Amino acid sequence: MEAIQVLITVLAILGIVVVGVLAIVPTMFDVSARAAKAPRSRSHVDLAA
């Protein structure tokens, strides 16, 4: 009984982490794409490369 409860808890935590990563990653890509488009932030792109 206890093992099943632990397994459910671990799966729930993993699900929350996956959803959080999926929510954060696109915004990070949007920010980097915007920085690449802006002409004044060329140094920022060089640091990332």
Range of the domain at 34: 24-49
Measure the CA–CA gap between 23 and 17, rounded to whole angstroms: 10
> Is 11 a member of any domain?
no
> Is 7 a member of any domain?
no
Give the model confidence (pLDDT) of 5-45 as tens digits: 999 999 999 999 999 999 888 887 787 777 777 666 555 55
> Is 45 a member of any domain?
yes
Q: How much is the pLDDT for 39? A: 61
Domain count across the chain? 1
> Is 19 a member of any domain?
no
Q: Tell me which DSSP letter residue 18 carries.
A: H
> Is 5 a member of any domain?
no
**Has this prediction a pTM greater than 0.85?**
no
- Whole-number CA gyration radius for the chain: 19
> Is 1 a member of any domain?
no
How long, in residues, is the chain?
49
Measure the CA–CA gap between 21 and 14, rounded to whole angstroms: 11
